[in-house]
Structure 1
Amino acid sequence: MTRLLPDWFVERINPVPDEDDLPVSTLELFFDLIFVFTVAQFTALIAYDPLMGLIQTVLMFGFVWWIYAGYAWLTNVIPPERPARRTLLLCAMAGWLVIALTIPAAFKEEGGVWIAVGLLVVVLVHGLMYLQAARAFGPVFIANLVAVAAVFAAELGPDGVWRYALWAASAVIVWTVPIWHGQRGLNLHPAHITERHGLVVIVALGESVVAIGIGAAGLPIDADLLVAAVLGLAIGACLWWSLFVHDLPQTEHALTATKDAVKRVRKVLVGLSYAFIPVLVGILVTAAGLKHAVGHAMEPLDLASTLLLSGGVALFLLGTAGLRASMPLPRAWERVVLAVAVLALAPLGLVNTALQLGAIVIVLVAGLAVERKLATRAPKPAPSE
């Protein structure tokens, strides 16, 4: 394949000899911060209209997360160490900013095609850079462009079912790529790819704290505000603990122990891409629920808000269960049981907001404590091959 960019712009890629020599760069951290704005836009959609906002979020997030995760893969094989690569990533950041700004209008008549333009920019930059390192990425690049074309058709066409169907088509196109693409010719470094996906979750968890601040704007400083805010932070801390204390470190070890490059890529796809959809959507849904809860701790919530709070946490836990099952890590079923227990707490919010928030915290803390006790008694799993 001929090079798609001139040599003076993108130099020939050299493989990274040692996986431990690939730290996450400050530019990648800067890049991830755009996700704060993107997450905030999705959270606002869900908080404004829980049902339609959630539907629109799932449809858009399907494509957005695929491409965003793709940039974690990109910098895994092409570290942004040279000026040309950094310049291209900065251009992609501009495209992501356009996407974030236009998310609220994507399903409205005045939406226009700007979100599709932003997606085209990030897909082109991503694809042209990735092809410098892996020719096997070519079919994936084509699929990404077809998905962008579906978004253009959605935004140029009439509002309504047509737009929803084409956005759904764009997500289906990209997420079915691993079914027909054999993943040969791709390789990933375990420590870097695990850390990059973890950083996205940290950014999203930070958005749940931002949601508390937004919900508190203009409210009096009283128990209604402070109790809900502190309990909301406690829920976020439990979600952090459930993923980062054991699961992500063990995920890195499992990927490192998987010496076959194709098997490793497939584990990343299932565990850090597919399973992270409910993880991240769960954070968005929880943050939307917290926006409604802050300032109303001593009052009952409406049904939609109670479902957002418990349902968001349950989605997150189900995503971590998927991560465990994909590596594989032990006791994925524990997270399913914990998710069901948290979801069962939703009716408490109809009585009192603080009661539901407090019950979620208690169940999460108790569940994580039981997990820790069981983990200390169980034998260590055999290394993956």
Structure 2
Amino acid sequence: MAAQTTGSGIRARMRARPIDEPHRGASPLELLFDLTFVVAVAAVTARFAHDIADAHAMSGLVAFLQVFFAIWWAWMNFTWFASSYDNDDVGYRLLTMVQMAGVLVLAAGVPAAAEDGDYRGVTFGYLLMRVGLVSQWIRAGIEDPARRRTAFRYAAGFTLLQAGWLLRLLLAGTGNLPAAAEVPAFVVLSVLELAVPLWAERTARTTWHPHHIAERYGLFTIILLGESVLAASRGVAGALETSAVDGPFVLVAGSGLVLLFALWWLYFLAPAGQGLRDRRHRSYLWGYGHYGIFAALAAVGAGLEVAVEQTGHDLAASPLAICYAVAVPAAAFIVLLWLVHAPIAAQPAAHPAAVPGCAAAVLLLPLAEPLIGIAGVVAALAAGCVLLIVLVLTPARGPAV
């Protein structure tokens, strides 16, 4: 009997899945795949929190953004491929598990990359993931003649760029790549990575499912919010080690939780599946724009961890810096969420003035720290995000702008 796409058989031909497949949702394998990213996100968030607490936020931010890009792009590569070609047979599952192993190697290399700029673990983890991913694309090219050139372009592009990452690692390790050139080299290779899908799909479009993609992005958002809760709990544990529960501690911890709830609410106010279905040509902006949204959520978690921990510790970071470690990513999340969803939305979810106004207020609130303290600032940030939700949910009395 021929294998089916439910994983009940050994072998199934890798065909492009229908764009309008009914009731398409995340598979158990995709959910397992996402769990491997929990380790990587937790590692990069914890490292960034340490950098903030040690008053090295700006230098730590560069490493955070680089490592987070590697994590996000690995997740992106798998997610969009799976949306088009998941046939759930034995070969597909095994190659996906190879990619999961690569994610875990990447996660193990995060501390060295963030602390010492040693990207060997991250690069070799990526090499392992790329073996699985490129094999999947080659198989898709062989078994789906209509999109053979597209699949082989993906395979060739990712293979060449993986060679570029290995060359960058070799040059840096032998001292032939100046330290000042390491970040520019990373940026160039990252831009080329982003260009691969644009180039590959010029021949024929893959058949990703809009509602499936929207669900997958929502699930990753929940993972990041969960990591932020975990980060805040680490701060709670650190604060409780040296002090009893007091007013500022309760206010910061409670307000941080409210802030995360508000960010979750804002993200899911406007489901993206319908917009992606109607405006598929704008999917690149939507998909790539989520790098900033996801990174901002992870950074909020790091900032909240430090804000809670400072209630029981004397940290090297100034109170103003700690406040901005929460406010800046929160404001970035609000603005980027609006910018990314606007091109696919049938109508704006909020009045155009509400989002930038709220973001501006969030960025100004840390200046009140000398008067209301860190706890008061975090509480005000949470209140501002809650107010934005109220403004969005309140029906407009006039025509939408």
What TM-score comes out, normalization by structure 1 length?
0.85
* 8 Å CA contact 2:40, 2:71 repeated in 1: no
Aligned-partner Cα distance in 2 for 1:343–1:110 = 30
Q: Report the residue type matching 1:43 in the other structure.
A: T
Aligned partner (choices 222, 230, 244) of residue 245 of structure 2: 222
Alpha-carbon shift at residue 370 of structure 1 (Å): 1.1
Deviation, structure 1 residue 39: 1.4
Q: Distance in 2 between matches of 1:79 and 1:363?
A: 42
Match of residue 99 from structure 2: 92
Deviation at 1:255, TM superposition (A): 2.1
Read off the aligned partner of 1:323 and give its amino acid letter.
V
Partner of 1:76: 83
- Deviation of 1:327 (Å): 0.7
Matched, 1:267 2:282: yes
- Post-superposition Cα deviations, 1:317-338, rounded to whole Å, max 9, x if no partner, equal 1221122222134337333332
Percent identical pairs in the alignment equals: 26
Contact kept, 8 Å, 2:36 with 2:104, in 1: the verdict is yes
Return the offset for 1:96: 0.3
1:65 aligns with 2:87: no
Give the letter for the 1:177 counterpart.
Answer: V
Q: Secondary structure at the match of 1:34?
A: helix
User: How far apart, CA to CA, are the structure 2 residues paired with 1:102 and 1:87?
Assistant: 23
Partner SS for 1:138: helix
Unaligned runs of 5+ in 2: 1-8, 52-56
Are 2:380 and 1:365 aligned?
no
Q: Distance in 2 between matches of 1:53 and 1:10?
A: 46
Residue 54 of structure 1 pairs with residue 77 of structure 2: no
C-alpha separation in 2, matches of 1:376 and 1:199: 34
Question: What is the CA-CA distance between 1:181 and the residue it aligns to?
Answer: 4.6
Quote the Cα distance in structure 2 between the aligned partners of 1:318 and 1:189: 26
1:274 counterpart letter in structure 2? Y
Question: Does the aligned pair in 2 maintain the 1:41–1:103 contact within 8 Å?
Answer: yes
Answer yes or no: is the 8 Å Cα contact 1:306–1:346 preserved in 2.
yes
1:237 alignment partner in structure 2 = 261
Instruction: State the match for 2:3 in structure 1.
Output: none
- Tell me by how many angstroms 1:242 deviates: 0.3
Provide Cα deviations, 1:74-117, integer angstroms capped at 9, x if missing partner.
Answer: 21122252222112111111100001110221266683623211
**2:191 matched residue in structure 1:** 172
Preserved CA contact (<8 Å) 2:211 2:273: yes
Contact in 2 for aligned 1:301/1:350 (Cα 8 Å)? no
**Deviation for aligned residue 1:341:** 2.0
Preserved contact between residue 338 and residue 367 of structure 1 (Cα < 8 Å): yes
The answer to whether the 8 A contact 1:116-1:152 is kept is: yes
Q: 190-199 vs 106-115, which deviates more?
A: 106-115
After the TM superposition, which of the residue ranges 230-239 and 173-182 deviates more from structure 2? 173-182
Q: Distance in 2 between matches of 1:80 and 1:54?
A: 39
| Contact 1:277–1:319 (Cα < 8 Å) also in 2 | no
Between 314-323 and 128-137, the greater mean CA deviation after superposition: 128-137
How far 1:198 moved relative to its partner? 0.8
Q: Which moved more, 1:111-120 or 1:291-300?
A: 291-300
8 Å contact from structure 1 (residues 214, 291) kept in 2: yes
Q: Counterpart of 1:233 in structure 2: which amino acid?
A: L
Q: How does 1:272-291 map to 2 (within 5 A)?
A: 273-291=287-305
How far did 1:164 drift?
Answer: 2.2
Measured at CA, do residues 368 and 96 of structure 1 come closer, stay the same or move farther in structure 2, by a change above 3 Å? same
Shift of residue 170, structure 1, vs aligned partner: 2.0
Match 1:320 to one of 337, 355, 360: 337
Deviations 1:241-266 (A, max 9, x none): 0011x22x2x21122334xxxxx1x4
CA offsets, 1:295-319, max 9 Å, x none?
A: 4459995332221100010111122
Counterpart of 2:5?
A: none
Q: 1:16 corresponds to which residue?
A: 17
AA aligned to 1:57 is F
Letter paired with 1:26: P
What SS does the aligned partner of 1:305 have?
A: helix
Could you give the per-residue CA deviations for residues 207-235 of structure 1, whole angstroms, max 9, x where no partner exists?
Answer: 11000111122414503433222111111
For 1:377 and 1:86, the matched residues in 2 are separated by 52
From 38, 41, 63, the equivalent of 2:40 is 38
Is the counterpart of residue 193 in structure 1 residue 213 in structure 2? yes
- Please say which structure displays the higher CA radius of gyration: 2
Question: CA offset at residue 29 of structure 1?
Answer: 1.0
SS in 1 for 2:152: helix
How far apart, in 2, do the equivalents of 1:227 and 1:371 lie? 26
CA distance in 2, matches of 1:107, 1:313: 22
Paired AA for residue 267 in structure 1:
R
- Call closer, same or farther: CA 1:150–1:340 in 2, change over 3 Å: farther
- 1:3 alignment counterpart: none
Contact 1:301 1:353 (8 Å CA) reproduced = no
User: How big is the shift at 1:9?
Assistant: 8.0
Counterpart-to-counterpart distance in 1, 2:157 and 2:294:
24
8 Å CA contact 1:19, 1:191 repeated in 2: no
Deviations 1:325-361 (A, max 9, x none): 2213433733333222211212234541111111111
Moved more, 166-175 or 216-225: 216-225
For the 8 Å contact 1:147–1:171, the answer to whether it is kept is no
Alignment match, 1:4: none
